[in-house]
Amino acid sequence: MSLADDKLLEQSKSGDIEAFEQLISLYEKKVYSIAYRFMGSHEDASDLAQEAMLKAYRAIKKFRGDASFKTWLYHITANVCRDELRKRSKRRETSLDEPLVFEEGEVTRETPDWTNVPEQVYEDKELQDYLHGLIQALTPEYKMVVVMREIQGLSYEEISQQMDCSLGTVKSRLSRARKMLKDKILADREQSNKVRSLKR
């Protein structure tokens, strides 16, 4: 954080709303991205990213600077998304229309049908959408671990604090989620190779 940012932070703390707007504009994109990976849709991402920044604004006086402002802001974002995801999964479980109860240890909900995995996997926008779809197919608790680890780059300890679960749980959830993603990617790749060879 530069000196200019520090100044903006101080001004924000004293209630200067323009300073705050300027300050968060530096992190807006990242906050939005985190929310998007958590929530899946642009609509939800917009709502929750804004919610997170409003929360940050309300709490800014209490920000003590133990962590960088950036880290603090991303944590709030993750918290807001976590709460929303949990709320939704609860609603889903109690909903009568969807009497589906996840089996113990089941990692995914419905998996997207991607028989056409792009060849140029490392640069395509298609790949990005494909991976995003894979993450969204995870059940909420697994999805949160993956986003916190791979997108936010949090440590296991930080994740366990945010998820309010043990280190062991973080470890095993992350391991299973990664394995599922890997298996799915491999399977899809094989499938699309088959499709391609058939087309030829």
Contact positions vs other proteins (CB under 8 A): 15, 17, 20-21, 24-25, 28-30, 32-33, 36-37, 42, 45-46, 49-50, 53-55, 57-59, 61-64, 66-67, 72, 75-76, 79-80, 82-83, 121-122, 127-128, 131-132, 135, 146, 149-151, 153, 156, 161-162, 171-172, 174-175, 178-179, 181-182, 185-186
| Smallest separation, CB 140 to other proteins (Å) | 16
Rounded Cα–Cα distance for residues 17 and 10 (Å): 11
| Smallest separation, CB 97 to other proteins (Å) | 28
Return the residue matching tokens 């997170």.
52
| Smallest separation, CB 105 to other proteins (Å) | 13
Q: Compare residues 100 and 186 and give the one whose CB is closer to other proteins.
A: 186
Q: Compare residues 109 and 131 and give the one whose CB is closer to other proteins.
A: 131
Residue type, 193: N
Tokens of 154: 């949090």
Rounded Cα–Cα distance for residues 22 and 6 (Å): 12
Q: Are 39 and 71 within 8 A, CB to CB?
A: no
Q: Compare residues 100 and 179 and give the one whose CB is closer to other proteins.
A: 179
Q: Compare residues 4 and 17 and give the one whose CB is closer to other proteins.
A: 17
Rounded Cα–Cα distance for residues 88 and 120 (Å): 35
Q: Compare residues 109 and 178 and give the one whose CB is closer to other proteins.
A: 178
Rounded Cα–Cα distance for residues 150 and 147 (Å): 5
Dihedral angle of Cα 187, 192, 193, 198, to the nearest 10 degrees = 130
